[in-house]
Structure 1
């Protein structure tokens, strides 16, 4: 066409119900975030987009577990780097995708530990106290590989496999899960798209686990690290 139309993508977390909706970031905070941007390590846990993030809400917010924002990256043998950052505010629980262990589920009020969020939904008399559409996991996958727009879109779709590996149930009618992808084109000129796809799934899954591991409690909702030492 005669002109280039920029694509400006955005997504938000529905987390204003934690503590108070009166405090929220505005344009000044957005500008400060841009000015503070760097190539250094990313802060993880209950910061930034992960501040109000919680998971495991099949029994409502009173049984939820604090989560946050996490990141991960890896370098493929051909030299391409693939990285992900994910803010996890999911309805479902968080599972270790390598062992199947439930890391964060609805908290048991009486005996400690977690309930299985999948079992809650599949029980005949299972209860669901979470209001609809108050959950969202959002994230970004980035690579320095040289890719076309269609190939980048393919990676964005594959990143949802990383969410499904670590969040159960995932992509529910109570979630608004959204993943973005980008390629800087500053790395290898040729890359195996299958390997990039596998790496995309892997770093997304790792980032979800980091979001849970690095979180600290907020607003009366404890994190897994605090529950482990409680």
Structure 2
């Protein structure tokens, strides 16, 4: 059973992964075009073609979303996805021209192994070529390859992040799913139990120091040299096969951030540029209840965050939760 983003009819997902340099990118493709939405939060975002997705803008379809490592350099990966889609004759017709609509967001992974290698057009093209409807691989792959979490006390105490996905089918038959690349300065928290699943590791002994307590109790000063601004960010896509207008898709992107806030603490900080996109493939009629869709979107977003850290494997000297021998 597929419980990842490709459970949504009409979507394909492909990764490009560079383990040697701890970076990668992920292409989410809708060949028929999807009703788009976006909501950008936090103080340090990096995005491409997000203004176009707002309700008042003319274009009402997006053909791909690209999630990438590489900080601002990684925005170039979207150019490779555009080239792939053009070759596939996918895009908006403007006279004799064809323009694929490809939006993108990036996360910062430049210092895990090297800052000299980052995804570009060739890597984006490779991710698009690899896109398929199979269950999406999770963990240390694609845009989550170089991701880390729990960095409030510095990278030496961090835990490996990654990319995770979750999906659910509602009683009315509509499917809602999320794909989230988690590279947060804060902790990953199981929203069902309140347990910190991944956070800054204690200097000695097992377990994590909850970032909220570290900050609010004054147990440590967060210096720029310890948790640098612009060195984090959680990005992702929430999708549904329900039929939504562009305005409704934007509303779904906004409410889906509640899922990030449930599973990442603190969330939307000045050191993060959290960005969520929506893709509604409009495969099902009638569209379904928007409140129910929003509730499901929040839940699968939170679940995807947990999947990202629980399926990750260690890289660049940063251990994954699965490698900490049950610590936490």
Q: Which residue of structure 2 lines up, in the alignment, with residue 77 of structure 1?
A: 171
Which residue number corresponds to residue 15 of structure 1?
109
Q: 2:212 corresponds to which residue?
A: 118
Write the mapping of 1:1-230 to structure 2, written as runs, cut at 5 A. Answer: 4=59, 8-128=102-222, 129-228=226-325
- Map Cα deviations across residues 19-74 of structure 1 (whole Å, 9 max, x no partner): 10122222222111111110001010010000000000110000000010000000
Counterparts of 2:59 and 2:148, CA distance in 1: 39
CA drift at 1:112: 2.4
What's the TM-score once normalised by structure 1's chain length? 0.95
Q: For 1:173 and 1:4, how far apart are their aligned partners in 2? A: 31
Normalised to the residue count of structure 2, the TM-score between the two structures is 0.67
Return the alpha-carbon distance in structure 2 between the equivalents of residues 173 and 8 of structure 1. 26
What displacement does 1:113 show? 1.3
**Aligned-residue RMSD, C-alpha:** 1.7
After the TM superposition, which of the residue ranges 25-34 and 73-82 deviates more from structure 2? 25-34
Task: Give 1 or 2: higher strand fraction.
Answer: 2
Question: Given that residues 79 and 188 in structure 1 are in contact (C-alpha distance below 8 angstroms), is that contact kept between their aligned partners in structure 2?
Answer: no
Cα distance in 1 for residues equivalent to 2:257 and 2:201: 26
Deviation for aligned residue 1:125: 4.5
1:110 to partner: Cα distance:
1.4
Q: Which runs of 5+ in 2 are unaligned?
A: 1-57, 61-91, 93-100
Whether the aligned pair in 2 keeps the contact of 1:54 and 1:89 (CA below 8 Å) is: yes
Give the drift of 1:146: 0.6
1:229 Cα offset (Å): 5.2
- Structure 1: state its 5+ residue gaps: none
Residue in structure 1 matched with residue 27 of structure 2 by the alignment: none
